[in-house]
Structure 1
Amino acid sequence: MPKSQPYRNNNNAPRKRQLQLDEQNPVVQAFRNYASELDGKHDRHERILKLSRDITIESKRIIFFLHSIDSRKQNKSKVLEEAKHRLNKLIEVNFRAIAQELREQDVYQFRAAYSPGLQEFIEAYTYMEYLSSEEKDGEDSKLISSWSDLQSIMQYADDSKKSEEDAADSADPIGCKFQFFVDPTEYILGVSDLTGELMRRCINSLGSGDTETCMETCKALQQFYTGYISLNCQRARELWRKITTMRQSMLKAENVCYNVKVRGGEAAKCANFDHKPAEDADEGFSMY
């Protein structure tokens, strides 16, 4: 049987001499530049992520504030005015700061950093627009901003790099403008989240006795769902998950409206809001 090797203390072993790097070497200089570039990218990613968190928190607060609208209190105009002011502040401050960070950068490299905030903002902004257009006459009056409309309000002018004399002499001010790029995919995902707020509004309106708003909101949910299932996006995992949630919200709203039609004034007491669709329910399309 071989003898076990004795324990050797490596602390007493002679230390290797540390080599001094030649900073003038082109390879060393190239890697120094790579390290500096990566550090700058990580720092920019963290700054954008913090701005996106602030946008997400404020957007959620605005949505919660919009749900405080009550026809019995007649506070709709006041709530909408304040919500619009807070949303415009997000556009002028937070999104401007992100757009400034992304100038001359590949925006898709930092998409994951600002995506949650952008989707939450789109949800809050479109919900505010939907509520603002409810008082107009006609079914086509309940409109929300399209992607191009939302992109148009994310335009900014950089006045810090130009003095008043340069601005007066310059004939081309386009170079001092920049924008926050609204990804069309993020817009579609953000609008899909709007249906969850519409479902809550449908249920809340029933509790306050406003059955007309309950019916109109359910109709809007059906229109949203009809449009989204026509996209045929089974391979888009995130969007497909949101469409599944949208279907559940629509069925809850339809169940509320069914109770309104059948039970009338007793609907708020007897409605079952936890109705879930059957697994074999046919919506006219295949899940695979």
Structure 2
Amino acid sequence: MTREAVLDVFEQFREDIDQGNDRRERLIKASRDVTNISKKAIFLLHRIVLEDSADDRALALRAAASGRAKLAEANALFALMRPELVGDRYWRYHRQVTGGVQEYIEALSFAHYVEHDALISYQQVQDALSDADGPFFPLNPSDYLLGLSDLTGELMRFAISNIARRGGRPKASQVCAFVRGCKSDFERFTPHVRDLSKKQYVTANSLEKIEVAAYAISVRSSEYDLPQEMLDDLVAQVTARFSLDNNRDAHTHHDGGGGYGERER
């Protein structure tokens, strides 16, 4: 092989490496944008679904519709990512996109729960990650399970907020039972899905917070024949304490350096 031929081969190697690095950076940025949009969708869902309303069902439908509308912005980004993830590129660059995909699934599953009081299926998530031209990319079952595991944290906040609402305590009990079922069902997958055991630990903490808050309210209301106004004040005090705990946990989680930042490297 001549010297010129060898140089041509290495020039092609250089171009391939440069293209791969550029693609990786584009996917990291797009995944971060998807994460930000998904977080905004979750915040929007919490804000709307906890508004005062005489018709809780209509409120839930409006919240879910608003959340899905916000997530449409993430779908537009996924559509732009599709050419970068064709064929085996999806698996090659999976670490760069998994954070955004999991956050999207968390937001989508929360909207689905608000609307249907049920867990979104794998096929429903894959359908959401598609358009008229087909799927944006194949949905990794691990991403599906990890995204659903993150949902339990949002359901904990949803349950605690419902405990503080007048007439919302039955809903909180329903959410508590649902989170308990999720923890039990996900346990069987922990040997097969990386990082799921860590998220199961967080799910257990979320479940404990719901149960302790509900138990405190139940005990106090049964011990004393309290007027509704005093009971609501007591509930507000209990839920305020749990809100502070949640904020500290969130701060610790972000300072810990884990999660998304590690997945994208």
Give your verdict on TM over 0.5. yes
Residue 52 of structure 1 aligns to a residue in which SS? helix
TM-fit CA distance, 1:105:
4.2
Partner of 1:78: 62
TM-fit CA distance, 1:110:
0.5
TM-fit CA distance, 1:189:
0.5
Residue 93 of structure 2 aligns to a residue in which SS? helix
Unmatched runs of 5 consecutive residues or more in structure 2: 222-230, 247-265
Q: Residues 71 and 260 from structure 1, CA distance in 2 versus in 1: closer, same or farther, beyond 3 angstroms?
A: farther
| Cα deviation code 1:153-206 (max 9, x no counterpart) | 333456xxxxxxxxxxxxxxxxxx563221111111000000000000111111
Q: State yes or no: 1:201 paired with 2:158.
A: yes
Paired with 1:53 and 1:270, the residues of 2 have a C-alpha distance of: 35
Partner of 1:52: 31
Instruction: Read off the aligned partner of 2:128 and give its amino acid letter.
Output: I
Q: State yes or no: 1:248 paired with 2:205.
A: yes
TM-fit CA distance, 1:236:
5.0
Q: State yes or no: 1:118 paired with 2:101.
A: yes
TM-score (norm 2): 0.78
Alignment of 1:211-222 (within 5 A): 211-222=169-180
- Structure number with the bigger relative contact order (C-alpha 8 A, sep ≥ 6) is 2
> Post-superposition, which runs of at least 4 consecutive aligned residues in structure 1 deviate over 6 A?
none
Unmatched runs of 5 consecutive residues or more in structure 1: 1-21, 134-141, 159-176, 276-288
Partner of 1:101: 84
In 1, are the aligned partners of 2:38 and 2:103 still within 8 Å (CA)? yes
| Cα deviation code 1:194-239 (max 9, x no counterpart) | 0000000111111223111111111111001111223352x75511
Q: State yes or no: 1:154 paired with 2:129.
A: yes
TM-score (norm 1): 0.72
Larger Rg: 1
Name the one with the larger helix percent. 2
Q: CA RMSD in A?
A: 2.3
Paired with 1:237 and 1:180, the residues of 2 have a C-alpha distance of: 21
Q: Residues 147 and 255 from structure 1, CA distance in 2 versus in 1: closer, same or farther, beyond 3 angstroms?
A: same
Partner of 2:187: 229
- In structure 2, which of residues 219, 227, 237 is the aligned counterpart of residue 269 of structure 1? 237
Paired with 1:88 and 1:151, the residues of 2 have a C-alpha distance of: 14
Residue 138 of structure 2 aligns to a residue in which SS? coil
Paired with 1:204 and 1:26, the residues of 2 have a C-alpha distance of: 68
| Cα deviation code 1:59-107 (max 9, x no counterpart) | 001101111122524644433222111213322x111111121124421
Instruction: Read off the aligned partner of 2:52 and give its amino acid letter.
Output: R
